[in-house]
Structure 1
Amino acid sequence: MLDYLDLQADLSGEDQMIRHTAREFVAEHVTPDIGALFEDGRFPETLVTRMGELDFYGPNLDWGDLPNVSETAYGLLLQELEAGDSGVRSMASVQGALVMYPIHEYGSEAQRERWLPDLASGEAVGCFGLTEPEHGSDPASMETTATPDGDGFRLSGTKTWITNSPIADVALVWGRIDDDADRDDAGEIRGFLVETDLDGVETPAIDGKLSMRVSETGQIHLQDVFVPAEAMLPDVQGMKGPLSCLTQARYGIAWGAVGVMRDCFETAREYATDREQFDRPIAATQLQQEKLAEMATKITTSQTLVFRLAELKERGDLRPQQVSMAKRQNVRAAREVARTAREMLGGNGITTDYSPMRHLANVETVYTYEGTHDIHSLILGEDLTGFSAF
């Protein structure tokens, strides 16, 4: 596996074990069927509890029996899962970074005890409801409302492009407290843990996807859904809540993109070594060697970024803008590496027998979600100049 600067030479024993376990899991349970699953547009739900048994959900959190592994180990885990398929990594990333993390950070102890063990084991599936049909890059303009009603709230609104929603047991929904409510937080955005079997909740799947086909993606329709006051996350309000969750998820995406690139590179290098044209392997030609050199350089640059992010995150110095840089750089690089690898495979590269075209299709979604490439450019631009272009 490509590690040109020996960045993994100093991994701890635990980091190596987690990387090995995840790589072995992908080889045994993802790779053999992933082409057929992609063609069928199916997520292998049997993997949900299997990943839970291996502590793949929120393993970097420190609560109860959660393993509290290093941020490097967590990144390596998501790298290996995305080398298998972006849909598999997204399942684990949403469960851990977008559902378990906010419950861990901002939830009550009762909420932690109710949800974290089941989410960690895969006995329950969670989803994160922020994006709305008319509000993607500008989530602060959300229209979902939470109207106080006795000892609880009535939630109404629609969320869309929600990973895991069709199979979720609980949705972390972000909504605005009714502006006219007689409350100190009237008009503020708050998070609510909404069980999906409540009256008025629907979670239909989104069909017709040409990307992230091995992912359960859907909507959350809320029609006057009553939730008790205890369902609201007590310790965060405003956009700090959802944005801090997105920082956690983007960190994982930056690592996952390395997995995409590495799998594409290894597939292309092996193919170029074996494939003969004009009486020699195509890997012996200058054009193909130049492509491999470019891919290896992009991968190495991206690896360097995420290993540095892990160091900063471990000591509490990581800034959201630094995560934006890594998400922006690494996903763009993954897009380019996947396309180049597909080219090297020629006609064979458009089939599900090989991974690059599937990765290329998936990375088009990753390029867009958790903040589009352009939005991350503006985040960096504001940080560099002090002027907001939003």
Structure 2
Amino acid sequence: MHQKVCKGCKTQAEAYAFVSALPPLFVEEKITIAKIAEWMYIPGGSHMERMEKLGRQYTIETLKGKRFLLRYFIKQFGNLELQELSIPKLIDFLAEDKHSGSWKNNFLTVVGEVYSEAPFMGLPYIPVPQFPKFRRNSKKKDIFTVNELNAFFDEQLWIDYSNKKYSKHPQFDEGHEAIYLLFLCCVKCGLRIGEGIGTRVNQFLFDKKVFVVDGFWRSNELVRTTFNKCGSNDDKKIRVAPLPDDFAEMMKNYIREKNLGSEDYVFQRYGKPIRKWLAEEWFRNILPISGIKVGKRKLTPHSLRYTYITRMRREVAGETVQKIAGHTSLAMTDHYTRAAIPEMVEAVKSANGAANRLFE
């Protein structure tokens, strides 16, 4: 009998040894972290369908970011089963990683979402561990002094830079004015650069002496939103900022000279909103020729917004500045709509004088 199974076996012991070495008929599949995460954050996949049913919406850029973090996680721990992953194992790994604290916290968020996906792979529910949060260690942007603002916005510097930049290719020279006014708008109204790039004519309410911030330009998608940062289609987070008199006159003249319509983008190059990378390039190149000694400070386009908020806080109540800046802390107005603009205008009226004195 044994020889029929194991041809060549001479003894019962040899037959038993042969049979015991055969692979099992049924093998339970090991569901690893890599297997759980395989189809996460893929548009059209079952994971994203569940997220949509839960009311979660992600932009393509957000999904790309999450997939990147997920791949990083799988590379290190993908061969493990979820129950084999421990808090010390994960935190020790991140402690040696050189990414910022914010990046590590985003990484842990993605890890937590892998735990939530596991039951849909037929695994028993495992509660998401209470991972400790890493301290945010990214350096904040520094601010400009008044003298530095005046030096940076010396318009002749921008004219000279434009002439030099396009001296060999004058056919591409559209002048300095659009980019110059873009950055001036950011510092005069406390805008993020994306809000500045996405500015349209109808956002300037000259009769009310305010600027309405009702969207921003997504440079990665080349589209303009109808809501502000931290907002959504349902909760737009619209805000208004006082419009300084001198800047209002400059913009009136510019809009008239360019013959721009109500829906037109204000700051254009080659017929389209200015590209973010080009604006940042101009900023970086103007900075050293303005004579500003940067030293160890971090001066970027966002520093203009930091400067605006810092200087306005010296003269205007904190709650008013938060309404102007669009921050969500300190019980700031929860929901702004276009219909509420008159109330917002009244709320920031006290800041007009401070806005006019920003460069003094």
TM beyond 0.5: no
Q: TM-score range by the shorter chain?
A: under 0.3
- Structure whose CA Rg is larger: 2
TM-score (norm 1): 0.22
Using the size of structure 2 for normalisation, the TM-score is 0.24
